[in-house]
Structure 1
Amino acid sequence: MPIGSEQLLFQTLSERPGRLRAVDDDGVIDVRKVTIGEENVHVGIAGTDSNDRSRVGEELDEIGLEIDDEVLIRNKYTTPYSGFDGSPDNG
Structure 2
Amino acid sequence: MRRGVALTVSGRVQGVGFRWMTKMVADQLKIAGFVTNLDNGDVYIEASGEEPALQEFIGAVKASPSPSGHVDHVSEQAIDPQPALSKFKIQ
Where structure 1 has 5 or more consecutive residues not aligned to the other structure, the ranges are: 77-91
Q: Secondary structure of the residue that 2:76 maps to in structure 1?
A: strand
Question: Which of the two has greater strand per residue?
Answer: 2
Q: Contact conserved, 1:28 with 1:56, CA < 8 A, in 2? A: no
Aligned-residue Cα RMSD (Å) equals 2.4
Q: Contact conserved, 2:3 with 2:81, CA < 8 A, in 1? A: no
TM-score, with normalisation over the residues of structure 2? 0.60
| Aligned partner letter, 1:73 | I
1:41 aligned onto 2:43: yes
Deviation at 1:30, TM superposition (A): 0.4
Which residue number in structure 1 is paired with residue 87 of structure 2? none
Q: Contact conserved, 1:12 with 1:65, CA < 8 A, in 2? A: no
The higher-RCO structure (CA 8 Å, 6+ apart) is: 2
Which residue number in structure 2 is paired with residue 74 of structure 1? 80
Larger Rg: 1
Where structure 2 has 5 or more consecutive residues not aligned to the other structure, the ranges are: 83-91
Which residue number in structure 2 is paired with residue 83 of structure 1? none
- Given the superposition, is the C-alpha separation of residues 47 and 16 from structure 1 closer, same or farther in structure 2, using an over 3 Å criterion? closer
Q: Provide the rounded CA distance (Å) in 1 between the counterparts of 2:48 and 2:58.
A: 12
TM-score, with normalisation over the residues of structure 1? 0.60
Write the deviation string for residues 37-82 of structure 1: whole angstroms up to 9, x where unpaired.
x6x1011111221x22321122222423535211111387xxxxxx
